[in-house]
Structure formats: C-alpha cells, structure tokens
Amino acid sequence: MASLDHLETPIPLINLDRLDANLGRMIRGAQRHQVGLRVHFKSFKCASLAKYLQTQGIRSFLCATLNEAEILVDAGIQDLLLANQVVGLNKAKRLVDLGKQADLSTCVDCPAHVEELIQALANQESRLGVFIEINVGMDRCGIETGEEALALARLIEKEPRLRLRGLQAYDGHLQGREETPERESLCRAGLDKAQVIRDHLGREGFVVEVVSGAGTSTWETVASHPVTTEIQPGSFLLMDAQYNRLRPEFQVSLTVMGTILGSRAGRYILDVGSKAISQDFTKPFVVDHPHEEVVKLNEEHTIVRFEGPPPRVGERRYLISGHCCATMNLHRRVAVHRSGKLEAIWPIEASGLYG
C-alpha cells in the first residue's frame, strides 16, 4: 500500500482507524440508550463513506439538501430523512422522484410545505414520509405548539401518499456550548416541548413513531430523554478543533495535509489556505507540533508561528480544521488511510452543491 508522501497538497485525509473508533463509540452509546442512530451525511458529503458506514451497520441517514438526498439514493441508501423544508414545485418534484426509489422523509413546519408536496405527488406512484419540525430553542425553523402540529397532521392525513412519520427536534443552538448544567436543562426543556407536542398528537389519534434530534455535542443528553427515539449526529465521525474541545472522547479523523512553502523570522507558510480548510468556529491546529500556532489564513496560505529551528521547505504538516463539515465542502476528493498507508481516494460528490 502506498504511503501518503506522494500525494499533492493541500488534500483532506481521513484516518479510517479513528473513524471506526468514533463510529463504534456512537453505535454503542445509541444501543446503551436504546435509540436509533441516523448519521448526518452533510458532515462528509461523500457517497463512498456512506457506503462504508453501511458495511459497518449504519442503515439510516440524514441529509441537509436535495442534492445530498439524490447522491445518497444513487448510492443505494434506502432510509433517508431530509432535515429541511423543500420549497418550490421543481424541488418538490425531485423529492417525489426520490420517493419512488427509497424510503424518504422530509420536514415541514407550515401548511404551504404540505400543500406543495401534495401538488407534486399528483398522479405519481410515489410515497413520502413527513416529519414535523419543532423549534426546540434554535429559533430557526419549526412549529411551537401542539395545535400547529395537529393542523399539519390533519393536512398530511388527507393525502394517502404522505405519511406522518415523526418529529424533527434538532438542538443546533446548543452544539457549540460547553456541557454545563444550564446547557443540559435547555436541552431537556426543548425535548419536553417535543414530548408535549407528541402527546397532543397522540390524544388526537396520530401516532408519532420517531422523535429525532441531537448533534455530536448533545447526543447523550438527547438520547437519554424519554421522548427521543433516534439521534442524528454527523461530526463525531470526522471531528474538528471545536468538537475536539467539547467532545474529546471522539478522535479527530479528518486532517488537511499541507506542505511548507518557506519560513522566516519565526513563522512559516503552509500551502493550505481558507479555500482548503474551514475556520468557521475556530482557527485550525497543527497536529503533533505544540509549539506551532496558526496565526492567519489567506486564500492559499496559512501563516504559522513557531519556536525553535526552522522547518525545511517541503516538510509536511497536518491541520485539524475549524469545522469538519465546511472543510469537506471545500474539496472534491479525500484520501483515506489507515496508519498512514493510503487505502483509497474517494470523490466528495456533494461538495459545493447547494439546494
């Protein structure tokens, strides 16, 4: 097997041994709390990785966009939730096409969403699942009350090709926060709200099979709440500098390999810029070089401050990104390795695609 040395930089690398360890940890955690595990595809956007996860026992996937859903269905994924509202008749028709090939659900939070799905389903041999999204505190999308949920459930019921599957209760506002008692109580309060809404629907005869939520940060609080039936994290597989601080029990498996272009006066320049690594949440870190600190990213360069003897031109460095999902979105391919031995180069089919 080839080493990574001959690869041209900058290039993202995934350490499969570490990814396996993260996956095993999350699978065991979900089993311990008796909830399902739905892995978020938007964190890696790579069909080969989704197929690899399938071989490791993952059957359910979440995605953020229609493009991602199309790529996953093409890859043979059968159990899929699009965690967003799909708006526009053309997009709704793309969704309906996918519903002919896979067990696909989407989110709604107002009657217009359901009405458009019904319009797109006219004369089509397709079925779609529907999740009602609840605002559990993120203040982005989502309904607030049991009455709103009931109105949507009644509308969904009118179209036999739509089926109310569950409630979407993602707590994105809590993902970047430290695990404090305050965060725990905010997280539980959001899920209590989901429980009230689920019970309201139940009293009116609507069975809610699934209540789905959580990210990498809050997975365990969410999994331990009685209303939760499945968790939907994604970043735990690859990890980044922010999650490494918040959830150090998961290992960073994604790095971006760069090459030193030159050095002077206590700083060196790496060929990894903001077009090759994300600094969304925090600046990237240099792996295994504690005396080297990223100062600044330009588009094609990273400036790193160092102590001690200057590194050689051409030396390699590995950076931990400031946000793994955004980093995968910057590249078209990723090198996959075990213990530094290259296993494959995988395309990142959904990177740079929106909508």
* DSSP per position, 149-183: HHHHHHHHHHSTTEEEEEEE---GGGTTS---HHH
| Residue with smaller CB distance to ligand PLP, 121 or 136 | 136
Q: What is the DSSP letter of 47?
A: H
Q: With binding defined as CB under 6 A, does residue 327 bind ligand PLP?
A: no
CB within 8 A of 338, min separation 6: which ones?
Answer: 15, 16, 17
Q: With binding defined as CB under 6 A, does residue 40 bind ligand PLP?
A: yes
Question: What angle do helix axes 66-74 and 89-99 make, rounded to 10 degrees?
Answer: 20
Three-state secondary-structure class, residue 59: coil
Of the candidate residues 60, 216, 221, 253, the single one contacting ligand PLP (CB under 6 A):
216
**Smallest distance, ligand PLP to C-beta of residue 211, A:** 13
Of the candidate residues 29, 146, 190, 215, the single one contacting ligand PLP (CB under 6 A):
215
Three-state secondary-structure class, residue 43: helix
Q: Which two tokens stand for residue 179?
A: 């695990």
Residue 265 to residue 267: CA distance in whole angstroms: 6
Pattern 287-306, ligand PLP, x by CB under 6 A: --------------------
Q: In the chain, helix, strand, coil percent, each to 5? A: 35, 25, 40
User: Is the distance from CB of 134 to CB of 143 less than 8 angstroms?
Assistant: yes
Q: Is 231 left (phi over 0), alpha (psi -120 to 50) or beta?
A: beta
Q: With binding defined as CB under 6 A, does residue 29 bind ligand PLP?
A: no
Candidate segments 155-163, 170-178, 194-202, 203-211, binder of ligand PLP by CB under 6 A: 170-178
| Residue with smaller CB distance to ligand PLP, 234 or 273 | 234
Q: With binding defined as CB under 6 A, does residue 135 bind ligand PLP?
A: no
Interface with ligand PLP in residues 69-98 (CB under 6 A)? 83
| Residue with smaller CB distance to ligand PLP, 29 or 233 | 233
Of the candidate residues 52, 170, 250, 285, the single one contacting ligand PLP (CB under 6 A):
170
**Smallest distance, ligand PLP to C-beta of residue 312, A:** 37
Pattern 231-260, ligand PLP, x by CB under 6 A: -xxxxx------------------------
| Residue with smaller CB distance to ligand PLP, 172 or 310 | 172
Cis, peptide link before residue 10, omega less than 30° from 0 = yes
| Residue with smaller CB distance to ligand PLP, 253 or 263 | 253
The phi, psi pair for 154, rounded to 5°, reads: -65, -35
**What residues line the site for ligand PLP (CB under 6 A)?**
40, 43, 62, 83, 170, 172, 175, 215-217, 232-236
